[in-house]
Amino acid sequence: MARTVLSTAELRMPVVAAAAVQEFARGGYHGTTIADVARAAKISPAYVIKLYPRKEQLFVAALEACFDQVVEALAAGADRAQDTSPDGVLYTMGAAYAELIGDRTLLMLQVHAQSVADVPEIGTALRAGLREVVDFAKSRSGGSDEAVQRFIAYGQLCHLVVTAQIDEVPEAWARLLTEGIRHPA
């Protein structure tokens, strides 16, 4: 049996993408430099540019890594579902996603991606990631289009609650938005 030997570049790309997730989540697309990502990945900026010649490509790699983790979390949630009805599976997938975004890194990367979705490559990658999540939620849960739409809408509401720290506001409007939304501490 022949072994496949990965090149140094093939080995470094996931490391750089993981560093890019962290750095772009922290500083956003405009506030993060290739040098920031290189420093986090512990390699030279020139090598990052060799792997990803344009900043858009680096951000897209981070976004793809983000959505890979999201789908993995949704799959793990679906695997844990004791209630195997479509709503039961969607509920446990939602709980798994809430756990995943507990540290806010992937959440913030998605928020930053939405803010620069007018950059063609980033908008395309964002839509591809969302398509992957929607298709996975639909096929794995067996839920109706309406149920999957509610699942995605609820997830976006969770993003708003977490990023705007609405769960810390004691006013009636905030309680209305946060009713039934729980995030692991």
Q: Work out the widest C-alpha separation in the chain, in whole angstroms.
A: 65
CA distance 115 to 46: 27
State pTM to two decimals. 0.90
* pLDDT for 15 beyond 80: yes
Count CB atoms within 10 A of the CB of residue 173: 9
Give the right CATH number for 8-178 from 1.10.357.10, 1.10.1740.10, 1.10.8.60, 2.40.50.140: 1.10.357.10
Measured CA to CA, the distance from residue 144 to residue 54 in angstroms comes to 40
Domain layout of the chain by residue ranges:
8-178
User: pLDDT tens, 153-180?
Assistant: 999 998 898 889 998 899 999 999 998 7
